[in-house]
Amino acid sequence: MHRRRLRPAIAALALIAGLLAPGVVTAPPAVAAPSGGKKVIANLFEWNWPSVASECASTLGPKGYGFVQVSPPQEHVRGNQWWVAYQPVSYRIESRKGTRAQFKSMVDTCHAAGVKVIVDAVVNHMSGQAGGGTGWAGSTYQHHVYPGIYQSQDFHYCGRNGNNDIVNYTDRYEVQNCELVNLSDLKTESDYVRSRLAAYLNDLLSLGVDGFRLDASKHMPAADIANIRSRLNRSAYIVQEVIYGAGEPITPNEYTGNGDVHEFRYGKDLARVFRSERLAYLRNFGEGWGHLPSGVSSVFVDNHDTQRDDGGVLTYRDRGIYALANAFMLAWPYGSPTVMSSYTFSSRDAGPPSDGNNKTLNTVCYSGWECEHRWPVIANMVGFRNATEGAGVSNWYDNGNNHIAFSRTGRGYLTINDEGSAINGRSYYTGLPAGRYCDIIHGTFTNGTCSGPVITVDANGWFAANIPAHDAIALHLNARLP
């Protein structure tokens, strides 16, 4: 029996006490990694536009997040489930999350806070409502007819399996020409469809958007995405959702010429190590595990799909161990990291907190919204990531089991003790300049002061500390006290 399955869900009491406290409030070229010195993305899943704007100004900007990923903004089918946002009925920027004017105001506010905006763009399909209906903003539609946008000739009808649905994921044609759970599959090889999708993305670019997460990219040939991207009016960061499947003919590597690709194996592997294996195995985590090359890999502990459909990942429910896994992700120089920010749910289909008309309510953190991006351990490690960008790994240490430590050469240091008992009476070689550093796992560095423990690194780069079970210490140059 795996030892971690025996421990309480809230394990590291000192860590959790801090974790739950509110935080401080021709073709344009593919952009193969988030630009600028601040690369961490916060995925504010299903937040409405006024709440995203407020969060950019109060938290994301001050904490050093470089990007915010927002949910699909186009008009969608009616309902409260989370997945209605992934069933477009038109490309009007009008949804349960807000109006076009609110969306534009959100983008401008985030930019003023130094945060770029990535839109979750649904371009593989339209709705899955066989009987049609009326969308959020009043547009009428049928399963394969969207007046003024698409008609029946603009969709695939693969005619397999007694219907048009995908069944066999080892058949490339079926995956890219049949319907994903009855969602009307756009004929993305068509010049008209390509031009219409590009027009939608260009409209978002005109509102100031900086990039796109392309939903269901696996269900479109990479060449179709490349053609649509070539029609964009300016460069934009692109990240594609391509879920790796063992033995499947469609692989994430096919899509790297278009931009970044989600590395779904990352979260599964990290969860397995933290739950039931040894942290010592993380010494070559990433490409050494057969993952995508770091420069084109988008990584996360969990996202909105995996936290619902994949019991093999860590989520907000794992509390302390989830915080530690995010701390590792933000400290380890592999891929471009995204921090998930969820709402509380017990049913897979449950939508975000909403009013009686299914309009998404303003976010109130820790009251129906988990706001993991604000948890002090995670939010403070964003600063660690920014301070150590571009530095390699050195001074790796492990005890062969679940105590690890490493430097981001000359700029930062992290040690994690995920053993079942404290590690006392030992010293750690950081390679950092001598000085007093804020331990950002347990305190926040602000205006030259630290709200938590201060660690003294001596003239030779060493410090001594005791580390409780399931806990950590993190230091970096930008949290060095005067």
**Active centre residues (catalytic):** 215, 241
- What whole-number distance in Å separates Cα of residue 186 and Cα of residue 152? 10
CA distances from 236 to 4, 28, 101, 171, 202 (A): 42, 8, 22, 31, 10
- What whole-number distance in Å separates Cα of residue 421 and Cα of residue 12? 10
Q: Which residues contact 148 (CB under 8 A, 6 or more apart)?
A: none
Q: Could you write out the DSSP letters of every residue in 169-229?
A: TT-HHHHHHSBSTT--BB-TTSHHHHHHHHHHHHHHHHTT--EEEETTGGGS-HHHHHHHH
Q: Could you write out the DSSP letters of every residue in 298-344?
A: EEES--TTHHHH-TTS--GGGTHHHHHHHHHHHHS-SSEEEEEE-B-
Residue whose structure tokens are 């390679």: 431
Closest CA to 420 of 312, 313, 316, 321: 321
- What whole-number distance in Å separates Cα of residue 470 and Cα of residue 264? 25
Half-sphere exposure of 102 (CA within 13 A, CB side): 17
SS3 (DSSP) at 16:
helix
CB 55 within 8 A of CB 112: no
Which secondary-structure segment (H or E) carries 446?
strand 445-446
- What whole-number distance in Å separates Cα of residue 330 and Cα of residue 36? 16
Closest CA to 408 of 306, 471, 331: 331
CA distances from 132 to 74, 76, 140, 159 (A): 17, 12, 8, 20
Which secondary-structure segment (H or E) carries 264?
helix 264-276
Which secondary-structure segment (H or E) carries 384?
helix 376-388
| Angle, in degrees to the nearest 10, between helices 320-331 and 376-388 | 10
CB 275 within 8 A of CB 71: no
